[in-house]
Amino acid sequence: MINIPEKAAEKLFLLPTVISIAITIGIFGFMLLLGLPLIIRGGHFLNLLAQSWAPGSGLYGIYPMIVGSLSIASLSLVFAFPLSLGCSVLISVVGHEVFGRFLRGVVQLMTGIPTVIYGFVGVFLLVPRIREIFQRGSGMCILSASLMLAVLISPTMILFFTDSFDHVPKSYGQAAEALGASKGQKFLYVTLPCAWRGVLTGLILAGGRALGDTLIALMLAGNAIQIPGSVLDSARTLTSHIALVFAADYESLEFKSIFACGMSLYLLATLLVLGARGLWHRNEGEK
């Protein structure tokens, strides 16, 4: 008698899970279906990734956008990761009574600051400064976009880092303290190894957000279709390309190229997930 509602409950929790997975797969299927004409014409999906963009001569390759996306996202992670690790150490490890709590509050509030506001302020505050400092171009470049993006993705990382530091059982830390470990040692040898999973999850989400963010790159990176030579060059990301070509006529091959961008972004996301999961399982094996 008890068994029936138990089984029903399990099914009730399973159903939404299955639906969510089906749609996750469905998203890729849909883009594959709609991008097919361009892939058939280009011969191969990989060709499309390596080709340059020259609609005049019938080339709709998305290589410049891939380079743009990767450079902006990785540069923003370079800025944001140390900053976030530092902040989460200050919140969880140093644990300053007043500033630590204040910082946690600010970071939590930051998750509520809209992306478009970072973009808006970036256009009118950061871009002119970058233009003045480097005396080159319009100031809309990879550097401007990465700097703003770093601010955007920091809270994601900090909240995940601190959350996972705080979830390490208190007795572990107390054991280390009893052995005479300082706060720094406790963090480095006890908290960090135990909280690896959360740190990685934070990095995945932050990297994914940097790669997947549209507005900041769209508003601050200049959107020129070219392979950037330096961080002061303008670049177009895969995401901005989808947003910019959108207005075009949707039977054209130029429009179909946004599905190639969509698929690439999807595959990049999958790769990121695979890499992080591989790391996590190896980490688990060592324990």
187 belongs to the binding site for another protein (CB under 8 A)? yes
265-284 residues near another protein, rule: CB under 8 A: 265-266, 269-270, 272-273, 276-277
Q: Is 180 helix (H, G, I), strand (E, B) or coil?
A: coil
126-145 residues near another protein, rule: CB under 8 A: none
6 belongs to the binding site for another protein (CB under 8 A)? yes
232 belongs to the binding site for another protein (CB under 8 A)? no
CB 253 within 8 A of CB 156: no
CB of 56 to another protein, least distance (A): 25
12-41 residues near another protein, rule: CB under 8 A: 12-17, 19-21, 23-27, 30-31, 34
CB 190 within 8 A of CB 181: yes
CB of 252 to another protein, least distance (A): 14
The amino acid that residue 16 corresponds to is: P
Single out the residue of 179, 246, 252, 284 in contact with another protein (rule: CB under 8 A).
246
43 vs 114, which CB is nearer to another protein? 114
- DSSP line for 23-64: HHHHHHHHHHHHHHHHHHHHS-HHHHHHS-EEGGGTEE--HH
3-state SS of 2-30?
CHHHHHHHHHHHHHHHHHHHHHHHHHHHH
20 vs 57, which CB is nearer to another protein? 20
Burial tier of 103 (Cβ tally within 10 Å: 0-12, 13-18, 19+) = middle
Give me 266's structure tokens. Answer: 């999807």
239 belongs to the binding site for another protein (CB under 8 A)? yes
54 belongs to the binding site for another protein (CB under 8 A)? no
Give residue 273's region: left, alpha or beta (phi > 0; psi -120 to 50).
alpha
CB of 249 to another protein, least distance (A): 12
| Stretch binding another protein (CB under 8 A), from 41-49, 55-63, 128-136, 201-209 | 201-209
